Amino acid sequence: MSFFRNSLAVRIFLAIAATSIVIVAIMAVLVALSMRDGFARYILRSELARFDALEQALVLSHNSNDQGWPELTATPKAWNDFVRLYIPPPDLPIDPPPDAPVQGLRFGELILGGPPPDGPQGGPRNGPGGNRTFKIGDRLTLLDANGDWIAGSTNRSSLFERRAICSDTACTDQNVLGYLGLNAPLLAKTASDTFFLRGQYASLALSALIALLVSAGAAIIVARYVLTPIRQLEAGAKTMALGDYSTRIGLKRTDELGRLIDHYNVLAATLERTDQAEREWISNTSHELQTPLATLRAQIEALQDGIRKPDPETLTQMHAAMMRLSRLVEDVKILSHSREKGLAHEKGPATTFHSEDLCEIARSCVSVARPQINDKGLTLTVDMPDTMPIVCDRLRIGQVIDNLLQNAARYTNVPGSIHLSIHCDGDAVRIQFEDTPPAPRDEDLPKLFDRFFRGETSRSRAHGGSGLGLSVCKAIVDSHNGTITAGLSMRGGLCITVTLPKATA
C-alpha cells in the first residue's frame, strides 16, 4: 500500500484519470440534459407536423376583414369542436372529410403510437409497455400573427413550439396569418420514448468508458515518459553517492528533464575531475614532502652513525631541506585555506583588509629580493609611481610580489633581466612582471597556475621550487577579487600580470 502512496507513476495516473472522470461526467450530464430537451422538442415538432388538416381549415376559415377567426373565439366550445374535426388519430386518414365522424377519439386527447390505452371496458390494451394519450386540450393554443393568444390553452411551459399558419404554400413573414402553439406533455414518457433515451444514455456511458480507458492509456504513457529519466537520475545519484563519478546518462531530450540530465552529466564530470585533482593533489603533496624528509632523514642517520660530522656543510644542507619543507607546508596551508574560502577571513589583525600603498609594499619586497637577484647575475628594474592606494591584505600582497620575483629569478637565464611595473588602468591597478628568456611553451601557459605543474624545460626541481608558488599567488589574488594571467613577454621570457581593484574614497 505504501508503494501506491509513494509512487509518482500512480499519482500521475490518478491525477489524469480523476480529471478525465470529472470532465466526462460533466459532459455526460450536459449532453443528457440537452438530449432530453432536444428529444422533447422533437416530439413537439412531430406532433405539430400532423396538424396539416387543421392548418388548412384555419386558412380557409380565416376572415381577412375581421383580421382573425371571430367564430372560433366566440366561445371555447367553438374552438374545441373545430379542433375535434381536424385532428385525426394515427390510425385514421390525416385529411378526413369534414362530415366524417371521428371514432375512438375523445376531445382533448391526441392518440400517438397506437390506439388508446383503454379498451372498451377501460382496461389496458396488450402491447409492450402499453400506449398512452397526450391531452391536447391543455396544450394546443391559437395565436395571431403577432404571437398574441386567441383561443385554446393559456398555459405556457418551458418547452413550447409553434407552427406558422400561412395563406400560401411558400410561408413568408408577409403571409403569416397566425400560429398553432403546442406545449410539451406533462405525462410520463412512453415505453418507446424511454427506450430511445435509454439507448442514448447507454451510448453516452460507453463513450465515457472509452474516454476513461484512453485517459488511462495516456496516463501510463505520460508516467513512463516522465519517470524514465527520473529513474535514471536516481540510479546515477546513487552511483555518485558511492563515489563513482564516471556514470553518464545518455538520454537525449529537449525539455526540462533533458536540461536536468545535462546538468547531471556536467555535475558528474566536474566531480570526476575534482576527485582526480584531489588524488593528484594528495599524491603530489606526499611526493614533494618525501624529498626534503628523505634528505633530513639521511643527514640525521649519517650523523647518528658517525659517517658524517656536524660540520657547517652538513648543517647547511639540513637547514636548506628544512626550509624547503617549511615553505611547502606553508604553501599547502594557504591553498587549503583558499579552497575552503577562508583565505581572506582568517582570524587576526594581520589578514584584515585595509587601505595600503601598493608602491610602498612593492619597494619593500624589491629591497629584500634585489641582493639575491643581483647575486645570480640578473638585473632588476622597477617602474612605478610614488604612491598607489589599494585595499588589501598587506602581508598577502607582499607574498604575491615576493613569490613572483623569486619565480622570475629562478627561471631566467644569466645574463638576464627582470622588470617590475605598476600603473593605473581605469578603476584597477595593474602589476606586471616581465623577464628575459627562456619562455614557457604556448601550451604550458594556461597550466602555470595549476598545483605542482612544472614545464619540462625550465620548471624543474633542480631550481628548488615546490610547484605551488604560482598557485598560491592565484589563490591570494582571487581572494582580493583580482585576476592573474600569464603570457609571453616582449623581452623574450614570461610576463605575469596581476590586476587588483583600486581603492575608492
Task: Output the domain CATH number for residue 483.
Answer: 3.30.565.10
Contact in structure between 87 and 54 (CB atoms under 8 Å): yes
3-state secondary structure of 217: helix
Distance CA 136, CA 285 (A): 109
Instruction: Report which of 68, 59, 53, 47 is spatially closest to residue 136, judged by C-alpha positions.
Output: 47
**Interval 71-111: pLDDT, tens:** 877 778 888 888 888 775 544 444 444 454 443 333 333 43
Contact in structure between 145 and 177 (CB atoms under 8 Å): yes
Contact in structure between 138 and 105 (CB atoms under 8 Å): no
Please check whether residues 372 and 306 belong to one and the same domain. no
Q: Give the number of other CB atoms < 10 A from CB of residue 263.
A: 11
Please check whether residues 307 and 394 belong to one and the same domain. no
The answer as to whether 168 is a domain residue is no
Please check whether residues 383 and 496 belong to one and the same domain. yes
Distance CA 433, CA 412 (A): 12
Please check whether residues 362 and 473 belong to one and the same domain. yes
The answer as to whether 401 is a domain residue is yes
Distance CA 74, CA 64 (A): 17
Total domains in the fold of the chain: 2
Please check whether residues 355 and 290 belong to one and the same domain. no
**CA-based torsion, 341, 345, 346, 347: positive or negative:** negative
Buried b (16+ CB within 10 A) or exposed e, 74-94: eeeeebbebbebbbbbeeeee
- pLDDT for 137 equals 65
The answer as to whether 263 is a domain residue is no
Distance CA 396, CA 139 (A): 106
The answer as to whether 284 is a domain residue is yes
Q: Which of 290, 309, 339 is the last residue of a domain?
A: 339
Contact in structure between 389 and 504 (CB atoms under 8 Å): no
Residues of the chain with pLDDT under 50: 1, 90-98, 100-134, 188, 340, 342-350, 456-464, 505
Q: At what angle do helices 191-241 and 8-48 cross, to 10 degrees?
A: 160
Please check whether residues 370 and 422 belong to one and the same domain. yes
- Read off the C-alpha cell for 277: 585533482
Q: Which of 292, 319, 339 is the last residue of a domain?
A: 339
Please check whether residues 365 and 483 belong to one and the same domain. yes
Domain that holds residue 411: 350-459+466-501
453 contacts: CB under 8 Å, gap ≥ 6: 444, 447, 459, 467
The single-letter DSSP state of residue 426 is T
Please check whether residues 332 and 397 belong to one and the same domain. no
Alpha helices in 136-255 (DSSP H): 191-241
Please check whether residues 492 and 364 belong to one and the same domain. yes
Q: Which of 305, 320, 339 is the last residue of a domain?
A: 339
Cis peptide before 438 (omega within 30 of 0): yes
Contact in structure between 308 and 299 (CB atoms under 8 Å): yes
The single-letter DSSP state of residue 63 is B
- pLDDT for 121 equals 36
CATH code for the domain in which residue 324 is found: 1.10.287.130
Please check whether residues 329 and 394 belong to one and the same domain. no
The answer as to whether 323 is a domain residue is yes
| DSSP per-residue letters across 102-143 | -TT--TTEEEESSS-SB-TTSPBPSSTT--EEEESTTTEEEE
**54 burial via Cβ count (<10 Å: 0-12, 13-18, 19+):** buried
Please check whether residues 367 and 494 belong to one and the same domain. yes
The answer as to whether 189 is a domain residue is no
The single-letter DSSP state of residue 149 is E
- pLDDT for 284 equals 65
The answer as to whether 400 is a domain residue is yes
- pLDDT for 2 equals 55
CA end-to-end span of the chain, whole Å?
68
Q: At what angle do helices 469-479 and 312-339 cross, to 10 degrees?
A: 40
**Conformational region of residue 252, where left means phi above 0, alpha means psi within -120 to 50, and beta covers everything else:** beta
Please check whether residues 413 and 443 belong to one and the same domain. yes
The answer as to whether 453 is a domain residue is yes
Residue keyed to cell 629591497:
367
